[in-house]
Amino acid sequence: MTDAERDERDEPRTAGAGLGLHDVVVRYDGGGARAAARRGASGTTAVDGVSLHVGTGEVVALLGPSGCGKSSLLRAVAGLEPLAGGRVTWDDVSVGDVPVHRRGFGLMFQDGQLFEHRDVAGNVAFGLTVGSGRAGRPERDARVAELLALVGLAEYGPRPVSTLSGGERQRVALARALAPRPRLLLLDEPLSALDRALRERLADDLRAALVATGTTALFVTHDQDEAFAVADRVAVMDAGRLRQVDTPGALWRHPATRQVAQFLGYEAFVPVSVAPSGSPQVDDVVRAATCPTGSADGPGGPDGPDGLVAAGSLLALAPGALVVTERPDDGRGADPVLKGTVVQVSARRGRAEVRVEVDGLGALTAVAPLGAEPRVGSVVPLAVDPTAVAVVPEDGPA
């Protein structure tokens, strides 16, 4: 889904509808968050004043490194951890006094937590057989069939869950979580126990299921690709705080700080200024990356007049920002603007990664077409892919 399509999904939402987090704080001392909240103890501050709105029907990913407080925040929203400060609201009304099972929030975890003694249909039906919204049998069976079809397991109803693969188990867990139509679904690293290829496919299927059911969701992950694949907006967390909240495209093009850019995978940061930098190589990359036509695909950030980059900025280069061109004059691909010395070549799916040493820029990861890998030690012409370059403020907020 493109950012424009994501924006369109955003439109019908009203400001306060959905989930509101207002200056949320979660603390732990030796006895856990409950004891810390009771005693007002300092201990570890896992979540440090987070404010965020998740509109009805919106999917937001909480993305950050391990230990940054994502799960603590999710558990606080669910009501599983007490707040040391701030408020959690639904449609602008505090849920602080509402117990976990009455919030109408669904939960899905990394290990699915299926009931081993029930078959697949029995697991999906579970959410429909407890609580106040008890469904009649025909209605329940129809809902189970609908959900199993939604997650691609239409024929799996009678299967014992012990016969399922890891991916199938998570599909069942998703169907079970969606069955009672939760007003908010909270997902804590639901794909991280799966292998990489399966994770990628399930991330797309998970998004499709959330969109098809119009489910409002908060999704915790440490995996950038997963966050980008699943969410309408990505909230980047670090050390208990939110650093940036944006659509995947805007986040990639306009990282607010060097720290966010680094976490997204930008690997090299080169100081630039409006005036010539003193390094012809840096100036060439800036010129090539700063689209003169103002294309939306160009690097974002604090652009100065005439597409130049404001003084005191950093040019952030992601792996693949430099592309090894076959020959400077073969008429194919982008114009080479730099030369680099090859220090290492590694084969990847469909391409080669080439470590190159470039004067003024240091060691960078360029890409080359498979079959056209250069030799280690050779000097190669390099073009710039502006979609893998961003401009970030040098002294952005920490």
**CB 76 → ligand ADP: shortest distance, Å?**
9
Residue 190, interface with ligand ADP (CB under 6 A)? no
Of 67, 104, 157, 302, the one binding ligand ADP (CB under 6 A) is: 67
Q: Which residue has the tokens 């391990």?
A: 66
**263 lies in the site for ligand ADP, by CB under 6 A:** no
Rounded Cα distance, 275 and 150, in Å = 56
What is the bridge-based pairing of β-strands 233-238 and 351-358? unpaired
Decide: is 71 part of the binding site for ligand ADP (CB under 6 A). yes
Residues 3-42 that bind ligand ADP (CB under 6 A): 28, 32
CB of 72: closest distance to ligand ADP in angstroms?
Answer: 3
d(CA 83, CA 95): 11
Rounded to a whole number of angstroms, the distance between the first and last alpha carbons of the chain is: 31
Nearest of 186, 188, 229 to residue 207 by alpha carbon: 229
- Laid out side by side, the sheet with 44-54 consists of 44-54, 19-28, 85-90, 93-94
Residue 37 or residue 150: which is nearer to ligand ADP going by CB?
Answer: 37
CA distance 385 to 323: 7
Give the Cα separation of 398 and 386 in Å (integer).
26
For ligand ADP, the closer CB: 29 or 326: 29
**H or E stretch at 28:** strand 19-28
State the number of binding residues for ligand ADP (CB under 6 A).
12
Residue with Cβ nearer ligand ADP (68 or 268): 68
Binding part of the chain for ligand ADP, among 61-69, 113-121, 312-320, 337-345 by CB under 6 A, reads 61-69
- Please tell me whether residue 64 binds ligand ADP under the rule CB under 6 A: yes
Angstrom distance (rounded) from CA 139 to CA 181: 14
Is 66 a binding residue for ligand ADP by CB under 6 A? The answer is: yes
Residue ranges of alpha helices (H) inside 271-381 are: 280-289
- Is residue 112 near ligand ADP by the rule CB under 6 A? no
Smallest distance from the beta carbon of 142 to ligand ADP, in angstroms? 37
Nearer to ligand ADP (CB atom), residue 36 or residue 324: 36
| 123 touches ligand ADP by CB under 6 A | no
Cβ–Cβ under 8 Å, residues 354 and 379:
no
Of 44 and 387, nearer to ligand ADP (C-beta) is: 44
Residue 68 found at the interface with ligand ADP (CB under 6 A): yes
Q: Which residues bind ligand ADP (CB under 6 A)?
A: 28, 32, 44, 46, 64, 66-72
